[in-house]
């Protein structure tokens, strides 16, 4: 009965998303393996484990986070840029940390999630708000921690996956690895191409009609090498090298009825980390040295009235970032832990538009450290105090304090509360872009308060129910915004103050019936992110979001997954008129596993947007209707 009430409450929270919606909508399909899937929940932190991650091998992390986390993914369409928003903050307020280094572009301050393949990841951890302080800087919205982690029990293995899908999509993933003595190694390769020429109904023009998306194809290709070397009982050396190339054509907005225009963007990146870890009974230390080199080339050509192709823009942006992070955790006594983290980073960027002959070169040097004390007052109560300081380009930055209290009544209930302050530096584009960059910009600052509650509601032989509730509040000052200025160009200003508040509810149910396993996860978020000047919800920030995932497996050989994502209304401007309506997406997939001799086969069929809903995540950017994917994977 208690479980029924909890489930009912969880759905009732979602009803706000149903306002003024007369279309049945679908969400992205999520492919599951036969292993039980349980995103592990610590107070406020969500960990998505490898078994869940493995079901998204042909997709980007944008799709994974869209389905499996409470964050909002703002996507311009399949293959197009996708960015992350935590609790109503902007994309630059969120950081992506891979193997301990922040891979956010120092020019833009954000990461395009559509370019990060899930195939290269083994662990994903979502840290909203102040939970990000220990792993990143400037993440006043939150941070996503990504890791490559080698298997520990397969001495020699190889996996291959081939997928084909709608709109001319085909992809291949391959991985091979071995363990010998102290060495573990794995190499992974992937390739993805899509014509992306889906049909959509264009109602943004005077004569609405069904059209086919044009100039939207994309290709991604990449490889990653992971190598672990166990130096002894205490020390481990890890290295990862990730190279990737992406080429995508950018389609026009739906209202465009002009001359032929061609936009294209290529992104190439080389990322590498070298990590030394030492673990003893009393302390743990980790040193990470890394680099992140990227080059982005954007081209915009149009066909003139004379049918010649005229270049409008040919912009090349390169960035080279070098990281050195050291962290140390020590148990001072039975009740007191001390942790320290220091970093020394250097960024060098360059931008040039060959047509306009504008651009800039800039560097940024960052160093900083934090120290924290974790005091265990009893088996139930502990507190953590943290202080962080940074020195960037010869300027001392605001001190960041944080204090949290954690209380566990018993093994079933955990409660935590946290107060903290954070700041986000202007990006290098904000400061130096020509024209419009503003070297006088101040850092954005944030004061945050969070309360999290986690409870194991039910734990029996065949049934487990767990829920987590979080409440948060933050005030962001000196929010940087680009707006039209003098001489017809845009310029960056500290002009906005925003208050964000909200709550997040997560429910997880695991149940077994005979040979059937059922796993259900539901996320609901309520977010108010209010511009204090006009007292309105920020654009593209839904107040309500609801995400449900149900997986069933029979005898660990047949898996069916169903997911439903519901996103509430979103403002597209800070006024009353333009509101994008809510949408919901239904997805389903069926997977069958077959073992023949020593070879393991997985066959998977997926249908996304089952009900062929027409929707927009960004105003007047077309999204695909119903689409299909078929995959065949084999493991040796």
How many CA atoms, within 13 angstroms, populate the side-chain half-sphere of residue 527? 32
**Is position 516 an interface residue for other proteins (rule: CB under 8 A)?**
no
Cβ of residue 90: shortest distance to other proteins, in angstroms?
12
Chain residues 37-96 in contact with other proteins, contact rule CB under 8 A = none
- Nearer Cβ to other proteins (309/396): 309
* CB atoms inside a 10 Å sphere around CB 308: 9
What token pair was written down for 47?
């960990």
**Is position 264 an interface residue for other proteins (rule: CB under 8 A)?**
no
Dihedral class, residue 556 (left if φ above 0, else alpha if ψ from -120 to 50, else beta): left
Contact of 158 with 636, CB cutoff 8 Å: yes
- Nearer Cβ to other proteins (461/577): 577
Among 45, 225, 302, 373, binds other proteins (CB under 8 A): 302
Among 227, 373, 539, 634, binds other proteins (CB under 8 A): 539
- Nearer Cβ to other proteins (259/599): 259
Cβ of residue 101: shortest distance to other proteins, in angstroms?
31
C-alpha 9/C-alpha 2 separation (Å) is 11
C-alpha 16/C-alpha 584 separation (Å) is 13
Q: Is 180 exposed, middle or buried (0-12, 13-18, 19+ CB in 10 A)?
A: exposed
Contact of 566 with 28, CB cutoff 8 Å: no
- Nearer Cβ to other proteins (533/556): 533
Among 291, 312, 352, 419, binds other proteins (CB under 8 A): 312
Print the binding letters for residues 469-488 with other proteins: x by CB under 8 A, - otherwise.
------------x-xx-xxx
Contact of 565 with 527, CB cutoff 8 Å: no
Among 616, 617, 627, 631, binds other proteins (CB under 8 A): 616
The answer to whether the peptide bond before residue 366 is cis (omega within 30 degrees of 0) is: no
Chain residues 383-442 in contact with other proteins, contact rule CB under 8 A = 434-435
How many CA atoms, within 13 angstroms, populate the side-chain half-sphere of residue 362? 19
C-alpha 274/C-alpha 411 separation (Å) is 37
- Nearer Cβ to other proteins (151/208): 208
Among 208, 234, 595, 630, binds other proteins (CB under 8 A): 208
- Nearer Cβ to other proteins (147/261): 261
**Is position 620 an interface residue for other proteins (rule: CB under 8 A)?**
yes
Residue indicated by tokens 């069916």 = 560
- Nearer Cβ to other proteins (153/306): 306
Characterize the bridge pairing of strands 235-250 and 101-102: unpaired
Q: Give the 3-state secondary structure of residue 532.
A: coil
**Is position 599 an interface residue for other proteins (rule: CB under 8 A)?**
no
565 Cβ neighbours under 8 A, 6+ residues apart: 27, 28, 66, 67, 545, 546, 547, 548, 584, 585
Cβ of residue 302: shortest distance to other proteins, in angstroms?
6
Cβ of residue 362: shortest distance to other proteins, in angstroms?
14
Piece in contact with other proteins (CB under 8 A), picked from 379-387, 395-403, 447-455, 532-540: 532-540
Among 203, 363, 459, 599, binds other proteins (CB under 8 A): 203
| Contacts with other proteins, residue ranges (CB under 8 A) | 20-23, 203-206, 208, 253-259, 261, 302, 304-306, 310, 312, 356-358, 434-435, 481, 483-484, 486-489, 495-496, 531, 533-534, 536, 539, 572-575, 577-581, 583, 614-616, 619-620
């Amino acid at each position: 009965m208690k479980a029924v009430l909890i489930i009912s409450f969880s759905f009732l929270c979602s009803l706000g998303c149903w306002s003024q919606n007369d279309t049945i909508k679908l969400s992205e399909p999520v492919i599951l393996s036969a292993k039980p899937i349980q995103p592990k929940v610590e107070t406020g932190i969500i960990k998505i484990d490898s078994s869940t991650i493995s079901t998204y091998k042909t997709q980007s992390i944008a799709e994974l986070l869209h389905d499996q986390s409470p964050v909002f993914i703002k996507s311009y369409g399949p293959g197009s840029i996708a960015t992350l928003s935590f609790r109503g903050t902007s994309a630059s307020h969120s950081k992506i940390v891979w193997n301990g280094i922040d891979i956010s572009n120092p020019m833009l301050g954000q990461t395009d999630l559509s370019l990060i393949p899930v195939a290269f990841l083994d662990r994903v951890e979502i840290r909203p708000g102040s939970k990000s302080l220990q792993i990143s800087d400037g993440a006043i919205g939150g941070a996503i921690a990504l890791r490559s982690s080698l298997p520990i029990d397969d001495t020699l293995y190889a996996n291959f996956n081939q997928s084909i899908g709608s709109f001319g999509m085909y992809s291949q993933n391959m991985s091979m690895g071995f363990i010998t003595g102290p060495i573990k190694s794995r190499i992974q390769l992937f390739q993805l191409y899509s014509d992306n020429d889906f049909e959509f109904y264009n109602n943004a023009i005077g004569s609405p009609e069904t059209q086919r998306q044009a100039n939207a194809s994309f290709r991604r290709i990449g490889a990653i090498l992971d190598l672990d070397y166990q130096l002894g009982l205490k020390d481990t050396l890890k290295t990862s090298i990730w190279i990737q190339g992406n080429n995508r054509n950018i389609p026009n907005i739906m209202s465009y009825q002009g001359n032929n225009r061609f936009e294209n963007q290529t992104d190439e990146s080389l990322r590498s980390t070298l990590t030394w870890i030492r673990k003893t009974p009393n302390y743990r230390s980790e040193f990470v040295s890394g680099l992140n080199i990227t080059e982005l080339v954007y081209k915009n050509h149009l066909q003139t009235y004379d049918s010649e192709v005229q270049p409008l823009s040919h912009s090349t942006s390169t960035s080279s970032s070098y990281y050195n992070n050291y962290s140390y955790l020590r148990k001072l006594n039975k009740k007191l832990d001390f942790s320290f983290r220091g970093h020394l980073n250097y960024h060098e960027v360059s931008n040039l538009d060959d047509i306009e002959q504008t651009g800039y070169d800039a560097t940024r040097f960052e160093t900083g450290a934090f120290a924290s004390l974790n005091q265990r007052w009893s088996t139930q109560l502990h507190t953590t105090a943290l202080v962080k300081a940074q020195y960037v380009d010869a300027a001392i930055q605001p001190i960041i304090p944080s204090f949290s209290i954690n209380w566990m009544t018993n093994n079933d209930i955990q409660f935590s509360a946290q107060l903290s302050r954070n700041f986000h530096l202007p990006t290098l584009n904000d400061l130096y872009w020509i024209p419009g960059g503003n070297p006088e910009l101040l850092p954005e600052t944030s004061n945050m308060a969070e309360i999290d509650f986690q409870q194991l509601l039910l734990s029996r032989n065949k049934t487990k129910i767990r829920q987590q509730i979080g409440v948060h509040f933050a005030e962001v000052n000196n929010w940087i915004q680009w707006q039209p200025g003098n001489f017809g160009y845009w310029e960056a200003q500290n002009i906005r103050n925003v208050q964000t508040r909200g709550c997040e509810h997560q429910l997880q149910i695991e149940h077994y019936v005979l040979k059937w396993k059922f796993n259900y996860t539901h996320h609901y978020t309520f977010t108010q992110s209010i511009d204090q000047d006009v007292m309105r919800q920020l654009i593209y920030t839904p107040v309500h979001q609801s995400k449900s995932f149900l997986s069933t497996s029979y005898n660990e050989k047949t898996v069916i997954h169903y997911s439903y994502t519901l996103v509430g209304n979103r403002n597209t401007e800070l006024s009353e008129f333009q509101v994008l309506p809510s949408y919901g997406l239904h997805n389903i997939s069926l997977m069958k596993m077959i073992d023949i001799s020593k070879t393991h086969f997985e066959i998977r069929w997926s249908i996304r947007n089952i009900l062929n809903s027409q929707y927009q995540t960004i105003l007047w950017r077309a999204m695909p209707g119903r689409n299909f994917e078929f995959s065949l994977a084999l493991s040796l």
